[in-house]
Structure 1
Amino acid sequence: MSQPSFLNRQTLYLHPDPSRVVVRRFGPAGEPRDFNPAEKAKANHIVNRVLSLAPEVAANLLAEVLENFNGRHRNLLERFEARADEMEDAFAAHGAFTKVQRQLVGAYFLHEYSFEAAALFNPSIIAHPDQSDAPAGGLRFILSVRAVGEGHISSLTFRSGSIAAGGEVSVDPTSRLATIATLHNRMARLDGEDVEVVFAADSDISERVIFPVTASQSNGIEDARFVAFEEDEGTFYRATYTAYDGRSIRSELIETRDFLSFRLSPLRGSAAVNKGMALFPRKLGGRYAMISRQDNENLHLIYSDDLLTWNGGVAILKPQYPWEFVQIGTCGSPIELDEGWLLLIHGVGAVRKYTIGAVLLDKADPSKVLGRLRQPFVQPEPSEREGYVPNVVYTCGALRHGDMIVLPYAVSDTFCHFATVKVAALLEAMQPDGAFTNAPGKDKRLPAGQPTLESEKP
C-alpha cells in the first residue's frame, strides 16, 4: 500500500544513546529493607573492608572514584552520602563513620546504568507548559519516551522541542547528564503505593528519568500516554502507563503540573488490570472517561467518578479489517476536533505486523463511531522494519497544531520517528463505520467537517 498523501514523514529521528547513564541503587539483592540475614552479612562484609582502610588510603580511593566518575553525574558526593543514609539499617553493627567513610561506602552500593542503551521508543507528545520561546506561529512541546536498558527495565524520560508554523519538527539538544528522580513521599494503600518523585528545579527536562520505585513497577514503567487535562484548578498533565513487575501488569496513573514533581498512583477496578488505557483530555458529562482494551481484542469506553477507579465499560470498536484482525488498541488520548474525537489506533495483522489507523468518535457520545480508515495510514516502511521487535510502528500520543496532527511514533521498538498529518484530508479518507461501510450506492467517504453518519456499536 502506498503512503497516503496526507502523511508527511520528516527527516528527524530520535535514537537511543548508551552514553547517557544514571547512578542507581546496587546491593546484594536490591533494597536494604528487603535484605535477609545473609544479604545483610554480605553488605556488612563490604563495609568492613572499607572501614579497614587507613584514613589516607580511604581519602585517596574516594578521590580516585570522583576523578573517574565526576563529570558524568550531578552532585556525586551527595549521591554517595544519600545512599549511605539509605543503607543505615543494614549497617547496625557498625559504629560511627567518618564523612569520607560514609561517602566511600555509599559509592560501593551504587552503579551506573545506561537507561536507554537498548531502546528509546513509544513516545507521546503534549504542548509545553511554557510557550515563551515558541517560534512564530509554532509551538513548543514536551515528548515523553520509554527508555530501555540492561535487563529490559523500562523507565520514563523526556525531551523538549518545537513545531514550526509549517509543521517542521525539531528536538532540542539532549543534556549529557541524566538523573533519577528523588523519592519524596511514599504512601501505602491496599492496592499498592502512591509515590511522589521530584527533580531539581535547575535540571534540564532531558536529564529527568523516572525509574521504577514500587514493587508493581519493578521491571518497568511502560508506554506513558500523556495528555493535557483541563480541570477547574487549571491544567494537569496526566498519563496512564503500564506497571510491570516481571510477572504481571496493571495500569497506573502519573500526574504533574510542572514536570518537576510527579505523583504515581495505581488504578483500581476491573479495567485497570489491562494495558493501553488512554484518558480523554477533559471530563465528559461531569465524569472522567477513557478508551481501554479490556479483552485483548476490542476497545471499550469507560467512565470514572474519581479518576482512580475504572470498572465496566461498553465495547465500541472491534477488529474489522485484515490489518487489525489480531487486535486493536489505543495510540494515545483522543484528540478533540470540531468534527468529533479523533482516536488513533494500532492494529495487529498477519505476521504480527503493527500499523496505525484512525477513527472518529461522536463529540457528545463517544460510544458512537462516525467513521474509520479502512487501511492504516502509517505502516513500517522498508527502512523501518528492522529493530528489537521487527515490523512495528507505534505511538502513545499525538498533538494537534493548527490544521495538522504532529505524530511521533516508534520504529520496531527501537527508536522514534516523526510525521505530520493533514486533519481535513485524514477525515475525508474515513468511511462510515459499521452498517454503512458496505451499503450499495452510498458515498463511503466522510466529508471533511461534516461527519453526520453515526454507526451502530460493534
Structure 2
Amino acid sequence: MQRAGDNARRRCRPSNRFDLTHFFQQARTYSRRVRSRRAGPDGDSVDVIFNADEDISERVIFPVTPSQSNGIEDARFVRFEGDDRGVYYATYTAYSGRAIRSELIETADFTSFRMSPLRGAAAQNKGMALFPRKIDGQYAMIARQDNENLYLVYSDDLHTWETGSALLKPTMPWEFLQIGNCGSPIELDEGWLLLTHGVGPVRKYSIGAVLLDRVDPSKVIARLHEPLLGPEPAEREGYVPNVVYTCGGLRHGNQIILPYAVSDTFSTFATIHVPALLGAMTFDD
C-alpha cells in the first residue's frame, strides 16, 4: 500500500558534495566580517557583512556570541510580507554548551545580516517558525514550549515571545514521541500549509503536513495521517541515523520545493504537488 503523499512528492538525490576546504578558510577569517556588536540585557546583537561579489553559497555565518559558542543551527528563513524593504527573517537555535535558546537573523539583501536574541518564555526552546505576515495585526510563530507538542504564539513585538496556546499534539504512531515544525507556514488559498516533523519508535524522524485555517490558524482543518516523507532503507545510516529533516519549503505555482537533510549525512530535495497533497489529507467535518 502506498503511503499518503507518495503521488504528491518526488525525491531527487544530489550529484555533488560540499567542499570543506573553503569552509575552513572562511572560518579563519570570519572575525573581519563582524562589523558591530552591541551588548543588551538579553545578550549581544551582531552585524555580519559579506562582500557583494561573493557567491551566496559561500556566505557562511559562524557562531559569534557566548550564547552561540557551541553552535547555531536550523535556521528557518521566510520572506516577511508587508515591509517595503522585502525583509527576510530567520529563527534559529543558539547553543552555548549549557543552554539552548531561539534567536533571530534579519537581512534584506543576503549580504548584511543582523543577529539578535529573542526573549520571553517561548524563546527558551528551539524550533520557532515565523508566519510570513502578521495575523490580525500581530506577529505569529509556531513554537515548541515542551518536548512533545506544537504551540501557536502571538506577539506585538518581533523580539518578545511569551507563552502560547497548544496547537498540535502527537496522534499518529510515526509521531508518537514528539512533533515539531519544519519551517514557516506556507500560505495557500485553502489555508496555511504547515510542514511538521514527527518522531516515532527508534527515534525515526518523518515529515508530515497539516492545514491551518487561513483566518484563524489556531484551527487545524486538515491533516496528513501518514508521513509525507521518511528515510528510505538506504538512507537510515549516518551521523544522526534514521532521520529526514527540513527547515522549510518554497512554493512555486502548484509545487512545493522541499530541501531536506538525510541522517545528517547529505542534503537533497523533493518536489510536492500541492493539489495531490491536499487530496491526500483528511479534512475535519
Q: TM-score interval w.r.t. the shorter chain?
A: over 0.9
- The CA distance in 1 between the partners of 2:86 and 2:8, in whole Å, is 31
Instruction: Indicate conservation of the 8 Å contact 1:399/1:407, yes or no.
Output: yes
User: Judging changes above 3 Å, is the alpha-carbon distance between structure 1 residues 367 and 18 closer, same or farther for their aligned structure 2 residues?
Assistant: same
Q: Which residue of 2 aligns with 1:16?
A: 18
Alignment of 1:398-417 (within 5 A): 398-417=249-268
Tell whether 2:219 aligns with 1:368: yes
Instruction: Indicate conservation of the 8 Å contact 1:181/1:210, yes or no.
Output: no
Q: Which residue of 2 aligns with 1:351?
A: 202
User: Judging changes above 3 Å, is the alpha-carbon distance between structure 1 residues 425 and 195 closer, same or farther for their aligned structure 2 residues?
Assistant: same
Q: CA deviation at 1:209?
A: 1.3
Could you tell me which runs of 5 or more consecutive residues in structure 1 were left unpaired when the two chains were aligned: 26-78, 80-178, 437-452, 454-458
In the TM superposition, structure 1's runs of 4+ consecutive aligned residues that sit over 6 Å from their partners are none
Q: CA deviation at 1:347?
A: 0.1
Q: CA deviation at 1:24?
A: 4.2
Q: Which residue of 2 aligns with 1:390?
A: 241
More helix by share: 1
The C-alpha deviation readout for 1:45-95, integer Å capped at 9, x for no partner, is xxxxxxxxxxxxxxxxxxxxxxxxxxxxxxxxxx6xxxxxxxxxxxxxxxx
- The CA distance in 1 between the partners of 2:16 and 2:229, in whole Å, is 18
Q: CA deviation at 1:377?
A: 1.1
> Secondary structure in 2 aligned to 1:316?
strand
Q: Which residue of 1 aligns with 2:75?
A: 224
Instruction: Indicate conservation of the 8 Å contact 1:181/1:211, yes or no.
Output: no
- The CA distance in 2 between the partners of 1:297 and 1:5, in whole Å, is 29
- The CA distance in 2 between the partners of 1:13 and 1:312, in whole Å, is 44
> Secondary structure in 2 aligned to 1:428?
helix
> Secondary structure in 2 aligned to 1:323?
helix
Q: Which residue of 1 aligns with 2:190?
A: 339
The C-alpha deviation readout for 1:408-456, integer Å capped at 9, x for no partner, is 1100012101110110010111113xxx5xxxxxxxxxxxxxxxx4xxx
- The CA distance in 2 between the partners of 1:194 and 1:18, in whole Å, is 28
Amino acid at match of 1:7: R
Alignment of 1:205-354 (within 5 A): 205-354=56-205
* Counterpart pick for 2:270 among 394, 407, 419: 419
- The CA distance in 2 between the partners of 1:431 and 1:14, in whole Å, is 38
Q: Which residue of 1 aligns with 2:8?
A: 6
Mark the structure with the bigger radius of gyration: 1
- The CA distance in 1 between the partners of 2:21 and 2:2, in whole Å, is 38
Q: CA deviation at 1:180?
A: 6.8
Amino acid at match of 1:267: L
TM-score (norm 2): 0.95
Amino acid at match of 2:187: E
- The CA distance in 1 between the partners of 2:32 and 2:192, in whole Å, is 35
Give the superposed CA RMSD.
Answer: 1.5
Q: Percent of counterpart pairs with the same letter?
A: 66
> Secondary structure in 2 aligned to 1:234?
coil
* Greater RCO, 1 or 2 (C-alpha within 8 Å, sep 6+): 2
Q: CA deviation at 1:13?
A: 5.1
- The CA distance in 1 between the partners of 2:2 and 2:70, in whole Å, is 39
- The CA distance in 2 between the partners of 1:201 and 1:281, in whole Å, is 26
Q: CA deviation at 1:12?
A: 2.6
Paired residue total: 282
